[in-house]
Amino acid sequence: MEAVSMQQRKKIHPHKFTLWIAIGSIIMMFAGLTSAYIVKSGQPNWQDVKTPQVFWYSTATILLSSLTIQMALRSFKQREMNRYRQLMAVTMILGAVFIVLQWNGFMQLWNSGIQFKGVAGAGQFLYVIFGLHALHVLGGAIALIVMLIKAFFGQTKTYASTGIEVMATYWHFVDILWIYLFVFFIWIK
Amino acid sequence: MSNDANMHGHAGVITHHEVHYDEHHVHHHKETFITKYVFSQDHKTIGKQFLITGIIWAIIGGLFSVLFRLQLGFPEQTFPILETFFGKWAKGGVIQPEFYYALVTIHGTVLVFFVLTAGLSGTFANLLIPLQIGARDMASPFLNMLSYWFFFIASVIMFSSLFVHTGPASGGWTSYPPLSALHQAGQGSKIGMDLWLVSMAMFIVSSLLGGLNYIATILNMRTKGMSMTRMPLTMWAILFTAILGVLSFPVLLSGAILLLFDRNLGTSFYLSDIYVAGQILPNEGGSAILFQHLFWFFGHPEVYIILLPAMGMVSEILSVNSRKPIFGYMAMVGSLFAICILAFLVWAHHMFVTGLNPFLGAFFVLLTLLIAVPSAIKVFNWLTTLWRGNIRFTPATLFAIGFVSLFISGGLTGLFLGNSTIDIHLHDTKFVVAHFHIVMGVASMFGMFAGIYQWFPKMFGRFLNHTLGYIHFWVTMVGAYLIFWPMHYEGLAGVPRRYLDLRDWHSFNKFDDLNKMITVVSIIVFAVQLMFVFNFFYSIFKGRKVRTQNPWGSNTLEWTTPINPGHGNWPGEIPEVHRWAYDYAKDGREFIPQAEPVGANESKDH
Ligand code: HEM
Ligand SMILES: [Cu+2]
């Protein structure tokens, strides 16, 4: 009985699986928003927007953080707990930097006169879409903080890597999602 | 992620899930009232919480329909008692226009989302998934509990919106902008609309958490031997329902977020060139049709989210109670799958008259009409399952048969609407109201009733009173047809939906008596639902006790648990499964439970 159930479980851990479905769900939300963008961009009075430079820096930041979380996962699996903690902390900081940079980009746009009120256009979509993405990064960063606290103060004697694997998958996902959104905004006028 | 840590943080035994749960079960701590009945993580309790919350909403939603039917049936009459209860909303005993629209909107919202989505899926997915696939609980009991409590928060917010000064949302259950986007568009577009949106956002979170769990549980936590094709059809239906929900609710959320921005931050996603309340608005370049795309991309899958669980339960109940295997099991699964795919490809049939490109419309007509194929397969299989069966006419069976009847009637009228040219005439008439109430509203209610009568013994260890059950069925069945059948004629004649007073349309005077009849029948049907609610609560405490483990002689695993199962469901090991769920009338035996090993000389058909 036990052997079989383990065999069944081995396919994929339910929590990882749940994350994959959740990712599908999040993709649908952004698919909805970006298709709305496409529908609207074909209509009269559409105002284009030039994406501020700073979003390139945030792209670099989030790419780097994907690398660090991957390394963290590796260290965890090699049981190098110190390195693991450091890399997780770096990832968390990079995540925070990303959000600050996004905020910076928003402020630049806002100050250049692209605000909520007025003629509809790409700018308003940008705030909503990038903003929702940033919320997803924020959620990830908070989860990272929780894991960090556990890593520093908890008495984890276990080496089950599911939690951190789930975390890393999610983190890579918001990274790829960002690349998609960024390319989308540069491409579709 | 962090939930993972919370749930299993204390043990590195995640790979030994089974073991973990067993351990958990054995020294399953003393439960307090709070952990057992309020913040419970037991899927059975959560299912009951969904059901009872759903029942409360059904009473509210049903009562609202009686109120607006009073207006539609007796527009010239005054009802002073209404003023006593509702004050300015029914000044002089007459239902005011704002009140009428609020009633219709909340009726629709509550029945579609709170009753037939949360109340139906939430109840039976939670109750049945672990019991029927052989699991101790859901993949994540904690997320599951959150799912209920988000629903609860959504309920509280929606309920509180009924009491705000300007009244609840009044733009219809679809809440199209610009009506829903502009505070100055009317009473119901003020704070009530914001509460509606926030409540719906909470509801979406609840549905997503639930759906994630249902899928993960069904795909990962089946007991030994329970291959996918041995699962009862209820499980397949709930699986597809959850997939639909997980992929479509986020799109509604994105539509709602844009709407919130338009409402409160001055953006123009949906707004353009508007003159309202003596004022020209600055918004330019928005498109109200955009909202309809987002809404119906979700909305059409949503109608199947409501229907599929009912289909699954009806399949199971018809097979058990006609003591025959389900006819065409794989065809049933295949048609569910086809319906799911098509559900995402037909949304624009709600938008034929929005100026949709007729060329595009033609594709949507084709895809829409294609749904008739899997639907017909299902109907055929239900009828052949019943055919020459040894049918036990329990209330559950009757409601299941009623479901099939309603699904046929309502599906046929869908074919009219699905043709874009005919829809130009029928759109936004009472014909549409008749169509979707029969095929979705009443049919899914019937599925839900069937499920309640069938699984009440598993939920509460007692039976519902069957005499009241028969009265409930016949009055509801006859009543539903009396209410909605005539609306087809009204719609064909051009009577619009969403109008509270047709007296100035002299050509519609001929329907006056019909409308009175519909209203009277509605009141009777509503009263009978109250009788059901009485039966429900009375039977929880005083119903006839279940004395055998398997009162319906059913094959599925839930009937191998004790009559009143605890958290963890099976006191010993989870049974192993050796066969599909439909070995009825096989080798001269009435039924052979799934947990029974295949005999040496058993015939081989499954
Ligand atoms: C062969 C099957 C079906 C076809 C061809 C069909 C077609 C349509 C069409 C074209 C409309 C839009 C009518 C209009 O607004 O002018 C409609 C409305 C609707 N249908 Fe169906 N339908 C079918 C089955 C179903 C089923 C199975 C359900 C639910 C379980 C359903 C639920 C609804 C609802 C809720 C609406 C109205 C929404 C609203 O405007 O408030 N339909 N149907
Ligand atoms: Cu539809």
- Which helix (H) or strand (E) covers residue B524, if one does? helix B512-542
B338 CA distance to ligand 2 centroid (A)?
15
**Residues in chain A within 8 Å Cβ distance of B19:** 2
Q: How many domains does chain A have?
A: 1
Residues of A in contact with B9 (CB under 8 A): 150, 154
Sign of dihedral through CA atoms B26, B32, B36, B42?
negative
Phi/psi of residue B85, nearest 5 degrees: -85, -40
Handedness of CA A171, A177, A181, A183 (dihedral sign): positive
Ligand 1 site residues (CB inside 6 A) read: B 174, 303-304, 306-307, 349-350, 368, 371-372, 375, 411, 414-415, 417-418, 423, 426-427, 432, 435-436, 439-440
User: Residue B403: pLDDT above 60?
Assistant: yes
> Does residue A161 surpass a pLDDT of 90?
no
Lowest mean pLDDT among A70-74, A156-160, B215-219, B561-565: A156-160
Contact B284 A150 (CB under 8 A): no
pTM of the full structure:
0.92
pLDDT digits (tens, 9 = 90+) for A36-51: 999 888 887 788 888 8
Neighbours of B10 (CB within 10 A): 9
Q: Is B461 helix (H, G, I), strand (E, B) or coil?
A: coil
Give A116's contacts in chain B (Cβ within 8 Å): 261, 265-267
Q: Looking at the domain assignment, is residue A148 inside a domain?
A: yes
A74: domain CATH number?
1.20.120.80
> Measured between alpha carbons, how far is B268 from B265 in angstroms, rounded to an integer?
9
Instruction: Kindly report which listed range (B144-153, B164-173, B436-445, B596-605) carries the lowest average pLDDT score.
Output: B596-605
Give the count of beta carbons closer than 10 Å to the beta carbon of residue A112: 12
Tokens 């003629």 belong to residue: A119
Closest CA to ligand 1's atom 38: B436
Per-residue pLDDT at B281 exceeds 50: yes
In a domain, A4, yes or no: no
Contact status, residue B129 vs residue B238, Cβ threshold 8 Å:
yes
Dump pLDDT digits (tens) for B538-569.
999 999 999 999 999 999 999 999 999 988 89
- List beta partners, residue B429: B496
What confidence tens digit (pLDDT) does each residue in B189-215 have? 999 999 999 999 999 999 999 999 999
C-beta atoms of B14 and A162 within 8 A: yes
- Residue B20, CA atoms < 13 Å, CB-side half-sphere: 17
Q: Which of B15, B221, B222 sits opposite A6 (nearest CB)?
A: B15
Domain of A75 in residue numbering reads as 16-188
Q: CA-CA distance, B177 to A35, in Å (whole number)? A: 18
Percent of chain A beyond pLDDT 70? 90
Compute the distance from residue B583 Cα to the ligand 2 centre, in Å: 36
CA distance A34 to A126: 10
Chain A interface, mutation test: which of B4, B138, B354, most A Cβ atoms within 10 Å?
B4
Read out DSSP for B290-338? Answer: HHHHHHHHHHHHHHHHHHHHHHHHHHHHHHHHTTSPPTTHHHHHHHHHH
Residue A64 domain-assigned (yes or no): yes
Residue-range domains of chain B with CATH: 40-270+285-588 (1.20.210.10)
Pocket test for ligand 1, best of B377, B438, B440, B442 (most atoms within 8 A of CB): B440
**Position A28 in a domain:** yes
Within a domain: A99:
yes
Residue A181 resides in a domain: yes
Residue A121, beta-bridge partner list: A47
CB-CB neighbours of B562 under 10 Å? 11
| A154 part of a folded domain | yes
Contact B593, B559 (CB under 8 A): yes
- Three-state secondary-structure class, residue B345: coil
| Three-state DSSP state, B496 | strand
Q: Is residue A11 part of a domain?
A: no
The ipTM is 0.91
- What is the C-alpha to C-alpha distance for residues B579 and B338, in angstroms, rounded to an integer? 26
Evaluate the CA torsion angle B449, B453, B455, B457 in order and state its sign. Answer: positive
What are the distances in angstroms from CA B240 to CA B221, B228, B337?
Answer: 17, 13, 7
Contact B442, B484 (CB under 8 A): yes
